[in-house]
Structure 1
């Protein structure tokens, strides 16, 4: 069992969320993460140090571990890499990664509430670029190294990806993912401007990086990424997920959530109080299948009432299968007693 919460680095090197987790009032949150880590094997001997210092990538890896187990996967930790070698009920391998901030940009965790973007197109452009950067890096790593490993050969290769590229990253939902993988862009700015009754959606082939340069998108619309079988993605596997799963009935927390609306482009909005709110580990999780994959991931692998899936259909197109009550977005507010520094002084978390 990992001793994640026994400090192994000095206070000044600890990540702000790790320091927050050490607060006595956050014992229920520590219990959630310890449960995610149950059965996890630190094969490199530095996981705890990375969890305490850089946090997000290790946190996401623990979430992926918990999600795999919740989906019935048996994990073989006898191999050093990739991150997860799944043996049953179907055999595939998973490499976990995050989309981090661009150089010089603020980290995902910072003081105060996340800033709501004023230009959705610019927000989406940056989010798409960060996702493509991470997907490209892991695809290259697969081709140069993982593909040659005997325990990886002839198995589906899955990239588990989460956006931690800015303080408001959890607002991205699946818009950037759809554009990066399938070249389909939802233009919310135009939809709002024209007061359209439907989301204005169109195909794109690239996104501008800077003047004179662009990055190709639609990675799953040709054989270019055929080595990647699927992408598992969540923008909501965050501190808010831990809060939502923690057993803390005495907390004064309000949860704002959005869910699909079959009759309108405006999602259904809910507000729930602590004690009445329920969230599943897999809520907010997407599985995006590659219709051009050399080794397709079986569609039943993450078949759950909590998971949305981009599923291949005729002609190698895909369609989004989303549960009726799928968790599109979550924001929570926790009021803390005066002087308690365990959260953002009563401010909001995603």
Structure 2
């Protein structure tokens, strides 16, 4: 029986704001996309639908990853409750999903005004990097303490899927925080000078948590996390992704997207009305490989023409395989008729 995501399992006043909004009749096409992602998915612990309706983001990310695995043609063995996905096929592996949440007392990644973007992108990038490192570390500890002891996990590559929902405008992050977190490579807009054709970048080994504490970054720069084969990451698998994929050409919305522009600091900027806009499920998705992995993923296993795949060459250089129009950023603006 198909999983029923939308019949309310909780009182209306406890619904997550995005789920509550999505329940409106005008968002039927968006619900259809989410239902398509969930085809074949099972509520293995009996809590998934309730969590989708009340906390939304972590469950949404799990459904997105399930849809991405289907797009890659990778079957999932749903007999196991943990990790989140035990992937079958030519090279079986395990995938655990997590999201970077706001810190205690922090503002959520929804309900903000686009009129007030982050004032300091250095602070924004550092804080986003720290939240990613926090979730990565939590999942590695879980793997070492629990998952590793399961027969269906032992000896298989282990992949962590991380999405950024850690603050307002978290979709601004693009690849900055994940590259710093995993490879210790930081792109610094503040250090970039007029006339430069590239954003200034340099290697970092720590990021300041506060005035007295630094947190290690560059998690894939040695064998400290050799049990992690790769990270799958996105900051654009959001409500905006559903809006972008929905078959709703009459929607009164405009999409602004940014794409790479080699040899220039300024990205390629595109604007389109909903009826003229197209986006792929995999647009904006990163796959980042650990060069020190005990069980590395073979070349091509998680490759797709629409995502960005990053490996480390023998000399330490990052090899980036992505489409020329890779989706760096998406902003959706609703048109209000007058």
Band of TM-score, shorter chain: over 0.9
Counterparts of 1:337 and 1:19, CA distance in 2: 23
Give the 3-state SS of the residue equivalent to 2:118 in structure 1: coil
Determine the C-alpha separation between the residues in 2 that align with 1:238 and 1:130: 17
Give the CA RMSD over aligned residues: 1.3
2:306 equivalent in structure 1: 306
Residue aligning to 1:328: 328
Rounded to whole Å, the distance in 1 between the matches of 2:116 and 2:195 is 24
Deviations 1:218-275 (A, max 9, x none): 0000001111000000111011100000011111221111111123132111111122
Q: Distance in 2 between matches of 1:141 and 1:111?
A: 33
* Of 246-255 and 201-210, the range deviating more from structure 2: 246-255
Show the 5 A alignment for 1:147-158: 147-158=148-159
Contact 1:305 1:323 in 2 (8 A): yes
Q: What is the SS of the residue equivalent to 1:49? A: helix
* Residue pairs, 1:154-233, within 5 angstroms: 154-191=155-192, 193-233=193-233
Distance in 2 (alpha carbons) for counterparts of 1:42 and 1:114 = 39
TM-superposed deviation, 1:128: 0.5
1:116: Cα distance to partner? 1.4
Give 1:140-151 correspondences, 5 Å limit: 140-151=141-152
2:39 matched to which residue of 1? 38
Q: Tell me which residue corresponds to 2:127.
A: 126
Number of the residue aligned with 2:3: 2
Deviation, 1:10, is 0.7
Q: Which runs of 5 or more structure 2 residues have no equivalent in the other structure?
A: none
Aligned 8 A contact 1:291 1:318 in 2: no
SS in 1 for 2:36: helix
Whole-Å Cα distance in 1 between the matches of residues 46 and 115 of structure 2? 34
1:117 is aligned to 118
Q: Please tell me whether the aligned partners of residues 197 and 263 of structure 2 are also in contact (alpha carbons under 8 angstroms).
A: no
- Asked whether the equivalents of residues 310 and 318 of structure 2 are also in contact (C-alpha less than 8 Å), the reply is yes
Tell me the residue number matched to 1:239: 239
Q: How far apart are the structure 1 equivalents of 2:337 and 2:9?
A: 29
Residue 30 of structure 2 is aligned to residue 29 of structure 1 = yes
Residue aligning to 2:266: 266
Deviations 1:107-130 (A, max 9, x none): 111243373111111111100100
Shift of 1:12: 1.2
